[in-house]
Amino acid sequence: MIRKKVDNVQEALEGIQSGMTLMLGGFGLCGIPENAISELVRLGVEDLTCISNNAGVDDFGLGLLLQKHQVKKMISSYVGENDEFERQMLSGELDVELTPQGTLAEKCRAAQAGFPAFFTPAGYGTEVAEGKEIREFNGKMYVLEEAFAADFSFVKAWKGDEAGNLIFKGTARNFNPCMCGAAKITVAEVEELVPAGQLDPNEIHIPGIFVQRIFQGTNYEKRIEQRTVRERL
Amino acid sequence: MIRKKVDNVQEALEGIQSGMTLMLGGFGLCGIPENAISELVRLGVEDLTCISNNAGVDDFGLGLLLQKHQVKKMISSYVGENDEFERQMLSGELDVELTPQGTLAEKCRAAQAGFPAFFTPAGYGTEVAEGKEIREFNGKMYVLEEAFAADFSFVKAWKGDEAGNLIFKGTARNFNPCMCGAAKITVAEVEELVPAGQLDPNEIHIPGIFVQRIFQGTNYEKRIEQRTVRERL
Amino acid sequence: MLDKNGIAKRIAKEVKDGYYVNLGIGIPTLVANFVRDDISVEFQSENGVLGMGPFPFAGEEDADIINAGKQTITTLPGASFFDSATSFGMIRGKHVDLTILGAMEVAENGDIANWKIPGKMVKGMGGAMDLVASAENIIVAMMHTNRAGASKLLKQCSLPLTGVGCVKKVVTNLAVLEVTGEGFELVERAPGVSVAQIEEVTEGTLVINGEIPEMEL
Amino acid sequence: MLDKNGIAKRIAKEVKDGYYVNLGIGIPTLVANFVRDDISVEFQSENGVLGMGPFPFAGEEDADIINAGKQTITTLPGASFFDSATSFGMIRGKHVDLTILGAMEVAENGDIANWKIPGKMVKGMGGAMDLVASAENIIVAMMHTNRAGASKLLKQCSLPLTGVGCVKKVVTNLAVLEVTGEGFELVERAPGVSVAQIEEVTEGTLVINGEIPEMEL
């Protein structure tokens, strides 16, 4: 077993520098690497390029990094629900590359799995396809998209073991598995870290080979963005 | 819940015809759809094109279809351990398209996930790349490979539910998940079929949307190709 | 004239037995409330769940189980969770049978715009570009006019596109229209709405063949 | 001169702490038996397992748990199972640190042939083409000559290629050689084997710099 456990978030983020490109898992505030984001804020690294489906909300998640102007560029699919993000983008303070959500996921997976490029129908005929190669296959038009290249990938899992194996919970899975092994260094934070051998090899979502560092996270807030309930009849 | 359960292998193979292209899961004899293969032999359909990593052994697995000359063409990565396969191939009775194993898996996954083509480094500079587009990305050469197109996909899982959700066991997983939803109709046979709701939504390897028909298989032989043991000290 | 729930109710009639359905944010989300309960349907949300159920009862919300609108949800028997790449594999691979989404503009050739107003507002495309480029059966749910009263059914979209030639049907507060080679073919009128009222607020070519029935809800 | 186990034993010295290693069929499989037990290594098998352990005891074989050579295996704590697409994602994505495989021929520029003898024998490439096209650290384990006594270390491969310019190191029953721009650089001799003996059965350019040490096993 190759041991991936590190003692805390400080150790997990060793080597992080201003100007780097980071991947961050999560959809909205669901499944985001809360501990890593806090530490990025504390470290004050700047000029970051962040690949993340959303950018949190004004006062939580990646919104915390935006507030402190640590982010130079966001690569995301959706901006809604974050006024500061929209303001910085419209004012030109922040460079934003909007990417269709499925393309965003696959550009991560391509980096993970060693594919330099793939053809997808998403965005054909729109400004997303401008400057990109277009090709017809079986009568349908496709856009050539390239794999991402990133320095660090920060993901959040439910359970993990010391070998770096990960299991996610519910829809907190989302982009997290696609980002594992998609950057030079993948850092996983988990709600419960167990010794190797305690997770069923058949139930592992992401094998430890895709993870370089794993640590037990603390103080998860897991804020709900749109609490929606139904009436009891 | 959309019900995918059918009563038996006969019902599961309804619509199968000579001349069709089939995907069959399994690696060697591990995780092969034994019931579907038996039924294909019984039905006597001919001129089949079979996409499968291997072709079984002489008297089991896809070897049974080869023996009866039901196969016109095999698309596989490895022929070893099957004398009849090698004989038919070298004599020209059988058309064989040898494909690198990772490319084979990804051509299935591309069909499942709606990608018409992808670039892979496998086979560059070899006869596998002949006639295919070659392109350089970041100083490395890649071959453009296209998604498979198949009529039926036959897979074998460990557990499944009536909604078509699948869980595989050990290395019997192999190509099976990649082939689900990669053909017009996916037929899954399982060792244990349970009502919807009995599998944990978090532990499902293949969501039911990729499966059109599921049935409880019978009489699994699960033959071991290379029984290898160590001495008790 | 229909309200948002009315539009959702009419669209629910398009949902057939055995369909996997992806519902966009807004009016489309309401469609789930009106699907007949004698048919089998599964709802997919692109953030990674199939087999979505109703919203949870108060106190039973789970922050780890949400839909693409970031709302807390529940799951039904037969549900499954998966990652984003697999989710869009379902969508791109045409395994989802029906996609229902909102729009700012629809053109008579089936083009759709719903993610950006240059210089003013950018929400982002989210999963919409993947959905409209992949799905074969796309229904747009929207009001017939924008807040300024201008038609949203146009000869050509003026806003940046989300997808080209992909919309098959539009259900608004006033009408049901099919996108054909000739333009928007008027199929049904909303209760109490006249053909003339619809013509007045449809900037794109409106095709009217014979008597147009009022919709049944 | 080494036997197959000797070749495996020498190659085991190339396996470093923290390596994920893919072992091909034949001699490479034996390497696992000789890796130092004070380092942490995980073995990957491309049919879908990471963290392979030793063969099972008789009576404990599981038909559902095999390696790429179709042999029954066991797993160690920290193991995981996955599908073929994910498995080759590990390989193609360069997550596997070392690949050890057999060959019929190796050329002095690093080309390798190991899957086909036209008209005579076709085993298929299995996962070898993906492995050699992706891995940055590839060691070939083979006998120095074929059954007819002809050299397998050539100026150019005569058989259909598996991959081009990819082999970094070759360990045979006679020697350890590194593939450099100049040819096969002789690095070590097998016990009791002279440089002259190696020269005699090496058809490709053999580079000899200074004294060549005997290998330590």
Q: Which residues of chain A have a CB within 8 Å of the CB of C46? A: 101-102
Q: Which residues of chain B have a CB within 8 Å of the CB of C78? A: 1-2, 161-163, 165, 196-197, 208
Angle between helices D84-92 and B101-113 (to 10 degrees): 120
The chain D residue lying nearest A116, using CA atoms, is D93
C135 in Cβ contact with C88 (< 8 Å): no
For position B233, what pLDDT does the model report?
A: 73
Q: Does D135 touch chain A (CB under 8 A)?
A: no
The answer on pLDDT for B10 being more than 90 is: yes
CA distance B123 to chain D (A): 6
For position B90, what pLDDT does the model report?
A: 84
Q: Read off the pLDDT of residues C2-28 as tens digits, 9 standing for 90 and up.
A: 999 999 999 999 999 999 999 998 899
Q: Please compute the mean of the pLDDT values over residues A10-36 and round it to a whole number.
A: 98
Greater pLDDT, B1 or A83: B1
Hey, are the CB atoms on D160 and B30 less than 8 Å from each other? no
- Residue C149 makes CB contacts below 8 A (sequence gap 6+) with C201
What Cα–Cα distance (Å) separates residue D55 from each residue in B232, D5, D58?
11, 17, 9
Task: Give me A117's structure tokens.
Answer: 């490029």
Q: Does the predicted TM-score (pTM) go above 0.95?
A: yes
Q: Which of B109, B113, B165 sits opposite C80 (nearest CB)?
A: B165
Which is it for strands C206-207 and D19-23: parallel, antiparallel or unpaired? unpaired
Q: What is the DSSP letter of C95?
A: -
For position B89, what pLDDT does the model report?
A: 86
Helical spans, DSSP H, in D23-154: 27-30, 84-92, 128-134
**Residues 88 through 147 of chain B touching chain D, CB cutoff 8 Å:** 89-90, 96, 98, 100-106, 108-109, 120-128
Phi-psi region of D65 (alpha: psi -120 to 50; beta: other; left: phi over 0): beta
Quick check: do C and D touch, 3+ CB pairs under 8 A? no
Q: Does C118 touch chain A (CB under 8 A)?
A: no
Q: Which residues of chain C have a CB within 8 Å of the CB of A127? A: 160-161
Q: Does D118 touch chain B (CB under 8 A)?
A: no
* Integer Cα distance of A67 and A59 in angstroms: 8
Name the pLDDT band for B170 (thresholds 50, 70, 90).
Answer: very high
Q: Which residues of chain B have a CB within 8 Å of the CB of A169? A: 202
**Interior angle at CA B165, CA C75 and CA A107, nearest 5:** 85
B187 three-state secondary structure: strand
Name the pLDDT band for B83 (thresholds 50, 70, 90).
Answer: confident
* Integer Cα distance of A146 and A131 in angstroms: 13
What Cα–Cα distance (Å) separates residue A117 from each residue in A37, B142, C18, C75?
29, 10, 35, 35
- Residue A98 makes CB contacts below 8 A (sequence gap 6+) with A76, A77, A79, A128, C115, C116, C122, C124, C125
**CB neighbours of residue B18 within 10 Å:** 12
Task: Give me C109's structure tokens.
Answer: 């050739």
Q: Which of D41, D51, D93 sits opposite A113 (nearest CB)?
A: D93
The chain D residue lying nearest B102, using CA atoms, is D88
Hey, are the CB atoms on A209 and D88 less than 8 Å from each other? no
Q: Interface partners of A (3+ CB pairs, < 8 Å)?
A: B, C, D
Residue B50 phi, psi dihedral angles, 5° rounding: -115, 125
Q: Please compute the mean of the pLDDT values over residues C69-84 and round it to a whole number.
A: 97
For position D69, what pLDDT does the model report?
A: 94
D143 three-state secondary structure: coil
Q: Read off the pLDDT of residues D161-209 as tens digits, 9 standing for 90 and up.
A: 999 999 999 999 999 999 998 999 999 999 999 999 999 999 999 999 9
What Cα–Cα distance (Å) separates residue C123 from each residue in A96, C28, C116, D134?
12, 17, 6, 39
For position D217, what pLDDT does the model report?
A: 85
Element (H, E) at C20: strand C19-23
* Integer Cα distance of A194 and A124 in angstroms: 45
pLDDT < 50 positions in chain D:
none
What Cα–Cα distance (Å) separates residue A78 from each residue in A27, A74, C72?
10, 10, 19
Q: Please compute the mean of the pLDDT values over residues C59-88 and round it to a whole number.
A: 97
The answer on pLDDT for B223 being more than 90 is: yes
Q: Does C36 touch chain B (CB under 8 A)?
A: no
> Of D129, D105, D119, D110, which is closest to residue D179 (Cα–Cα)?
D110
For position D130, what pLDDT does the model report?
A: 98
Would residue C46 show up in a list of annotated catalytic residues for this protein?
Answer: yes
Q: Does A177 touch chain C (CB under 8 A)?
A: yes
Q: Read off the pLDDT of residues B178-207 as tens digits, 9 standing for 90 and up.
A: 999 999 999 999 999 999 999 999 999 999
Q: Which residues of A84-102 are buried (b: 16+ CB within 10 A; e: fewer)?
A: bbbebbbeeebebebbbbb
Hey, are the CB atoms on A118 and B118 less than 8 Å from each other? yes
The answer on pLDDT for B79 being more than 90 is: no
Q: Does B148 touch chain A (CB under 8 A)?
A: no
Q: Does A194 touch chain D (CB under 8 A)?
A: no
* D188-196: long-range pairs with CB below 8 Å, 24+: D188/D10, D188/D212, D188/D213, D188/D214, D188/D215, D189/D213, D189/D214, D189/D215, D190/D1, D190/D2, D190/D6, D190/D214, D190/D215, D191/D1, D191/D2, D191/D215, D191/D217, D192/D1, D193/D1
Q: What is the DSSP letter of D211?
A: P
Q: Read off the pLDDT of residues A75-105 as tens digits, 9 standing for 90 and up.
A: 999 987 788 888 898 888 999 999 999 999 9
Q: Which of A116, A118, A168 sits opposite B115 (nearest CB)?
A: A118
CA dihedral A57, A62, A63, A65 (to 10 degrees): 170
Which is it for strands D169-171 and D138-141: parallel, antiparallel or unpaired? parallel
Name the pLDDT band for A208 (thresholds 50, 70, 90).
Answer: very high
ipTM of the complex: 0.97
Q: Please compute the mean of the pLDDT values over residues C172-179 and round it to a whole number.
A: 98
A14 exposed, middle or buried (CB, 10 Å; 0-12, 13-18, 19+)? exposed
Best residue of A107, A108, A109, A115 to probe chain B, by most B CBs closer than 10 Å: A115
Best residue of C80, C81, C96, C129 to probe chain B, by most B CBs closer than 10 Å: C80
Paired strand residues for B23: B51, B153
CA distance C21 to chain A (A): 17
Q: Does B3 touch chain C (CB under 8 A)?
A: yes
For position C217, what pLDDT does the model report?
A: 85
- The chain-wide mean pLDDT, for chain B, equals 96
* Integer Cα distance of A202 and D79 in angstroms: 9
Hey, are the CB atoms on A108 and C85 less than 8 Å from each other? yes
